[in-house]
Structure 1
């Protein structure tokens, strides 16, 4: 029973760490622009496909993270510090400019429509939902899985990712309602709050990596 409670606590930690950087609210304006003249059923399908793609992308990087580390000879503390620095930069952008990686997509919605690209994968799933910051968070959590609980650790992280993408799906599926209730300033305010939470997560990752570096050098 104790291990179940501990696992649920870590699922919550993964969700809290990943949700601010995924920040589905920041994807709502793009989603509304892309689906402006489509039916509600089509919007829900696009939201579902984007969430599924985002989960698949993050799960792939979680499972292959250890292989990437071994291939390039990267240490686990290095992964944590690098991930923390990436997240910190994105968090500062959210705090001080009201923007995050979802705001930096090069193509405009009209250009995407003209090219007839399936936007459920790009730009909605990647880079809006499962961008570099989200990938860094997932890989950082994957690097902290203890060797004695590898299977349970991966299940815990995947559950946290699944909960986060379900929240993202709910946000996109309710995009019209959320946009009307919060308005542009409301979405910016929530983005700044999430940016602060994300800064805390980033500092924790960096501190953890630095501590492990110091321990390894002293050893």
Structure 2
């Protein structure tokens, strides 16, 4: 029982450590504050809560339906690992060398979005800011690593990890004014660089495991069809 509890916390923590740097709610704070600066505190919290719920729903959908999508297009699981690793590595290196994660940037300015008079909790806050291509790649990458005999528990671990990260994002968005004053611009960039380094390590692991599985897959095909 104790070993099961330890494994549960271990694998859930791995998902949190892998997803939090790429979601990086710190990069969403400036956009969130600009869009909600004339709202009441209650409405600000509602927008933050809706954005995080949408982000959870987007990532959970790609986790649960991702295998069906890649099967439909004939993509192998090692291919998903390698592709996800490349995407994550590019984003991570941008964070390390620039201090910013450009994957969460949106084309329209905050003033342009305000003029549209729309509910922006889904877009741009949930997607692409919180649940962007990098976050989706991380979730699908973790999903591809689940052993065949542990599919149910593996998905539960990842879903709980996603829920924890989105809760952290909600807390950070709700406390955005305090965090921005506390860290300042340079502090935010420093944390982004640290997160980028952690993400680089995860991307390399995805690439290594995907390359290994590619080798095993092709080696098996070569043995089965020597001519």
The two structures have a TM-score, normalised by structure 1, of 0.97
Residue 103 of structure 1, CA deviation: 5.1
Residue 212 of structure 1, CA deviation: 0.8
Partner of 2:30: 29
Partner of 1:206: 207
CA distance in 1, matches of 2:90, 2:37: 32
Partner of 1:81: 82
Partner of 2:223: none
Mark the CA change 1:120 to 1:194 in structure 2 (over 3 Å): closer, same or farther.
Answer: same
Partner of 1:123: 124
Runs of 4+ aligned residues of structure 1 deviating over 6 Å after TM superposition are none
Residues 3-57 of structure 1 show CA distances to partners (whole Å, capped at 9, x for unaligned) of 3321221000000000000000111111111111111111111110010000000
CA distance in 2, matches of 1:48, 1:102: 21
Partner of 2:225: none
Taking the TM superposition and a 5 Å limit, the aligned residue runs for 1:1-219 are 1=1, 2-101=3-102, 104-219=105-220
Contact map agreement 1:101 1:128 (CA 8 A) in 2: no
Residue 145 of structure 1, CA deviation: 1.1
Residue 144 of structure 1, CA deviation: 1.1
CA distance in 1, matches of 2:8, 2:74: 30
Contact map agreement 2:15 2:162 (CA 8 A) in 1: yes
CA distance in 1, matches of 2:7, 2:74: 31
**Aligned-residue CA RMSD in angstroms?**
1.0
Residue 117 of structure 1, CA deviation: 2.1
Contact map agreement 2:105 2:128 (CA 8 A) in 1: no
| Aligned length, in residue pairs | 219
CA distance in 2, matches of 1:7, 1:218: 34
Residue 98 of structure 1, CA deviation: 2.2
CA distance in 2, matches of 1:103, 1:8: 29
Bigger Rg, structure 1 or 2: 2
Residue 101 of structure 1, CA deviation: 3.2
CA distance in 2, matches of 1:106, 1:70: 32
Unaligned 5+ segments in structure 2 are 221-227
Contact map agreement 1:27 1:102 (CA 8 A) in 2: no
- Partner SS for 1:145: coil
Mark the CA change 1:102 to 1:174 in structure 2 (over 3 Å): closer, same or farther.
Answer: farther
